[in-house]
């Protein structure tokens, strides 16, 4: 599609817009700047606060240092492994 080809703004497809954009064409004629659609998505993560003995934190830090990852990554990985393991055991008993 060339810059000379003009498509009706009401019938332009997302693929056509993508192609025009990728080619460096001006697509502002095809965008409704006066009535933008704003989508709000819920956060994909939630913050959790844990209280644990100092020795546990120390062990987590040792594991994190050994793996060269953050303490948070260690906790997330271990919890995810446990949840998957529990889910597999439950599925096997059904």
Residue 41 lies in a domain: no
Residue 86 lies in a domain: yes
The pLDDT tens digits of the residues spanning 73-89 come to 999 999 999 999 999 99
pLDDT given at position 3: 47
Residue 24 lies in a domain: no
Residue 16 lies in a domain: no
Q: The whole model's pTM is what?
A: 0.52
Residue 59 is part of which domain span?
54-92
Residue 67 lies in a domain: yes
Residue 85 lies in a domain: yes
Residue 12 reports pLDDT greater than 50: yes
Domains in the chain: how many in total?
1
**Other CB atoms within 10 Å distance of the CB of residue 17:** 15
Residue 59 reports pLDDT greater than 60: yes
Q: Which parts of the chain are beta strand (E)?
A: none
């Amino acid at each position: 599609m060339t810059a000379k080809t003009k498509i009706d703004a009401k019938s332009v497809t997302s693929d056509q817009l993508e192609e025009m954009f990728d080619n460096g064409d001006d697509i502002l004629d095809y965008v409704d700047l006066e009535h933008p659609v704003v989508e709000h998505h819920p956060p994909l993560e939630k913050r959790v606060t844990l209280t644990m003995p100092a020795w546990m934190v120390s062990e987590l830090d040792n594991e994190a240092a050994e793996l060269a990852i953050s303490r948070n990554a260690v906790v997330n990985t271990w919890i995810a492994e446990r949840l998957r393991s529990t889910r597999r055991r439950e599925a096997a008993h059904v």
